[in-house]
Amino acid sequence: MSKEKSDIQIDSEIIDGIREGNNLAIQQLYQIHFPPIANMVINNRGSREEAQDIFQETVMVLYNKISDGDFVLSSRLQTFLYAISKRLWLKHLTRGEAKYHKDSIDDYGESLAAEEIIEDHEVKEANLVQMEDALDGLGEPCRTILYDFYIQGRSMTAICEKFGYTNADNAKTQKYKCLQRLKKIFFKK
């Protein structure tokens, strides 16, 4: 990995720090995770103050879960916090409140709706990892052909020239065969 620490390591350090009462962990949590949540609230008819209230409530949900002692983070911390914040903000908007009431945290102690969002995200994340593994198992030139076409948006003519196929139809046939192999590998796992 090119980063010094992975996101998973940082998430784990923050969780452990909160569990141990380390104020630096809370500061790091705010520094890393508040900006995207503030953007979500502000972009959805909220103010910076409301974003701060929502984030504070979200941190309290996280803190309570960690304090219970059996908390295991099963997604990225950003995903967990964002899901909780989004649910809190949506509830705030549907109530039509002028100010956010802090007593609503009890409504989210279990955060069931947020956990459903997290589970959906985890399934998608697992599928992406499985697809990445399938692509790795595909080999060349199939991997590059599919990458060039679907990710880079290259034309079949450009792929034809890159790989030396006699015409774009031959490249298209090869892409189709590669896609079929990828499907077999993906669904076999």
Tell me what the mean pLDDT of segment 113-125 comes to: 63
pLDDT at residue 35, rounded to an integer: 92
Q: Output helix, strand, coil percentages for the chain, rounded to the nearest 5.
A: 75, 0, 25
Distance CA 105, CA 103 (A): 5
Flag whether pLDDT at 110 surpasses 50: no
Tell me what the mean pLDDT of segment 128-132 comes to: 76
Tell me what the mean pLDDT of segment 56-78 comes to: 83
DSSP string for residues in 144-183? HHHIIIIIS---HHHHHHHHT-SSHHHHHHHHHHHHHHHH
> In angstroms, what is the C-alpha Rg of the chain?
23
pLDDT at residue 20, rounded to an integer: 86
What residue type is 149 in one-letter code?
F
pLDDT at residue 118, rounded to an integer: 63
pLDDT at residue 173, rounded to an integer: 92
Distance CA 45, CA 58 (A): 18
Q: What is the mean pLDDT of the chain?
A: 80
pLDDT at residue 105, rounded to an integer: 45
pLDDT band at 117 (very low <50, low <70, confident <90, very high): low
pLDDT at residue 31, rounded to an integer: 92
Flag whether pLDDT at 115 surpasses 60: no
Cα–Cα–Cα angle for 124, 125, 130, rounded to 5 degrees = 95
